[in-house]
Amino acid sequence: MSAEATNPAPSRRRGRPRIDLRRLGRAALLGPGTRDRLPDAISHVAEAHRAHHPDADLAVLHRAYVLAEFSHRGQFRKSGEPYITHPLAVTLILAELGAETTTLTASLLHDTVEDTDVTLDQVREEFGEEVCYLVDGVTKLEKVDYGAAAEPETFRKMLVATGNDVRVMSIKLADRLHNMRTLGVMRPEKQVRIAKVTRDVLIPLAERLGVQALKTELEDLVFAILHPAEYENTRALIAGNATAGDALAAIADDVRAVLREARIPAEVLVRPRHFVSVHRVRLKRGELRGTDFGRLLVLVTDDADCYGVLGELHTCFTPVISEFKDFIAAPKFNLYQSLHTAVAAPDGAVAEILIRTHQMHKVAEAGVVALGNPYAAPAEGTDPVGEDGERSDPTRPGWLSRLLAWQRSTPDPDTFWTSLRADLAQDGEITVFRPDGGTLALPAGATCVDAAYAQYGEAAHTCVGARVNGRLATLGTVLNDGDTVQPLLAGGDAATEEPGTAAEPDACEGGPAHHDPASGPSPDWLEHARTPAARIAITGWLAAHPEGVKVPAAAPRPPAAAVCADPPALRDAAANAVVADLPGAQVRLARCCTPVPPDAVTGFPVRGGNVTVHRVACPAVRRMEAAGRVPVGVCWGEAAECRVTLVAESFGRPRLLADLTEAIATAGAAIVSATVEPPSEQRVRHTYTLQLADAAELPALMRAMRDVPGVYDVSRAQHPAAAIG
């Protein structure tokens, strides 16, 4: 288990010593000093299982163990251990999390079909259809049959199986955790490859399924392999602050006293942060204090007590209001529920506090694993279907339904693998409302383009714009949680608008104002699409309708080789790029990366013979090249004036905005627009669009902004600003 999951779960029998999973996973299952004897191996699993399920029938586990041990007999891991230690360790991990008997049975057998002579038919005959389905779901596809596509196609198979039974992914996550614990015997290059797949695919899946206990330890193991220097620094930092927990322990004693006086039964625990968490906190806060190495966890009986504890803490201590979050009233998309707050000690140290019920804690640690068998018949008198049908099965949330939908449209394994990593890289989930009162679940950062394809599918090809919260918006507008969005379709929803609204010049970014129903999306839409479903649909239409993209024919030429003629007249002083291969074309600087001289740039033709110019390093360039878009060479003209968007990250303090604007003015830049986001966790993000008389002044301007006290980072914007003011 991870460092953040070291406190006993409420459902464990009091007084039972906690099993050291890492030790058992490596050696303890071998028995005392011998490799050919496993005296009490299955008893560890049985004990952990009975702690969560006292009435469980252990006979099926013993039968599964006998078959697995016999089938794997004579096989050894690269570490030299008998192979049976691996399925035992995986099963023990799941048993500690509270998995039910069917999952543990399949976990014991999860490698038998892949690595032994046992067949799926034999598993089905002996253990039933459910166990057979789970074993088949985690069985890898043969490289002999699939070649280089074996890994992505195996993950596709697992995800499809997970859509029908989420326990498939629970077993896979526990399997990867034990493999990561014992990865040291592999070659360094193989360690790095496996760690990257774990980082890009399995850790996001663990987060989305709410299995924090597995996610945090996987993060630490990946951190040690991919960032060894930072890992060692963090390990030394934690070791050098061995007494850091004393500060939190003292605050915990004060919290216990307050709750006793208020007569609120509660358990107050100190939870050390795991390595990656400490590393992130250090990057954000610089020098760490004792209270930064952990958090307090308050466990109570019911929801009402959670809010009672919160009231007592905010009454008796000084609360840090910006740290308060209510994930009980508004649970996270991965089932997580807790109240988050922070209080200041008399010496100024800030202690973060999590408040939750025992059941919330179980779900917070084990996620979907803690739900038991979600496919059992519902209890009498309960309705298995939710009001909107979206979460009638809590293990089939919106993100999984979306993933299963778009993967069917990507037969190519490379496209699927790339899209899967991009989809899982999206942090969080938002819910937006349709005008009819329905909802759409989208990844954080989704735009009106994504909403259109999520609501209308391929009919969204005829989209001419959108309304967000009743106001016309470009298709590139980023949506926020709770927004109401209405995509406008040519000949459809757009027809219900007032005359002329669909003809607003900005109604459809990159597309014509009056959209013919037979026409399709603009290539520029790919710059705004964040969901694979939207990107796959747009790319498919563009590939099927090359005549729909009206750009002059031109042979591609890299920017470095472009020879500039005299610069033509441009639309504004900021767009001082010259398209070498398409003389006379109108130029637009991409808002997603705001290129300025002397950035290395490239261009892509769009409708009407225009060209959008991006920085070479812009993520949109890679997406468009992957979609088959052909770049054209561009280079900078003689004009030195430029416009750029900068993002300043800072800690909140009085007069910060005044000091930043003064630094910008002193550097000779003019502020075109500015956005200041509401403080989050005592940090503030400022976004400035600035006009510079000379692009060469940009490095000095960024240094001047970084020198403002409280500002810890200034960077070029990679996405359009959240607001234009």
**Distance between CA atoms of 724 and 717, rounded to whole angstroms?**
14
Helices (H) and strands (E) in the chain, counts: 27, 20
β-strand 601-605 against 587-589: which pairing, if any?
Answer: unpaired
Contact call for residues 209 and 201 (beta carbons, < 8 A): no
Count the alpha carbons within 13 Å of 329 in the hemisphere toward its beta carbon: 6
Contact call for residues 245 and 273 (beta carbons, < 8 A): no
Contact call for residues 613 and 634 (beta carbons, < 8 A): yes
**Distance between CA atoms of 102 and 109, rounded to whole angstroms?**
11
**Three-state SS at 571:** coil
**What size, in residues, is the chain?**
725
**Distance between CA atoms of 593 and 331, rounded to whole angstroms?**
34
Where residue 466 falls (left for φ over 0; alpha for ψ -120 to 50; beta otherwise) is beta
Helices (H), 463-591: 525-528, 532-544
Helices (H), 476-585: 525-528, 532-544
DSSP 6-52: -SPPTTSPTTPPPP-HHHHHHTGGG-SS-SS--TTHHHHHHHHHHHH
Identify which of 139, 203, 144 has the alpha carbon closest to the alpha carbon of residue 177: 203
What tokens were used for 653? 């303090």
Contact call for residues 366 and 96 (beta carbons, < 8 A): no
Q: Where are the beta strands (DSSP E) in 109-184?
A: none
Q: Is residue 136 annotated as part of the catalytic site, yes or no?
A: no
Q: What backbone phi and psi angles, to 5 degrees, belong to 705?
A: -70, -40
Helices (H), 320-386: 358-366
Question: Which amino acid appears at position 500 of this protein?
Answer: G
The neighbour count for residue 671, using CB atoms within 10 Å, is: 14
Q: Is the dihedral of CA 20, 21, 24, 27 positive or negative?
A: negative
What tokens were used for 2? 């991870």
Where residue 319 falls (left for φ over 0; alpha for ψ -120 to 50; beta otherwise) is beta
The residue annotated as part of the active site, out of 114, 326, 641, 697, is: 114
β-strand 429-433 against 325-326: which pairing, if any?
Answer: unpaired
Residues 6 or more apart whose CB falls under 8 angstroms from that of 394 comprise: 335, 368, 371, 374
Cross-strand bridge partners of residue 300: 357
Q: Is residue 115 annotated as part of the catalytic site, yes or no?
A: yes
CA distances from 134 to 19, 172, 253, 394, 570 (A): 26, 10, 46, 19, 62
The residue annotated as part of the active site, out of 36, 69, 81, 115, is: 115
β-strand 339-344 against 577-579: which pairing, if any?
Answer: unpaired
Residues 6 or more apart whose CB falls under 8 angstroms from that of 607 comprise: 510, 511, 512, 522, 523, 524, 549, 550, 551
For the annotated catalytic residues, the residue numbers are: 114-115
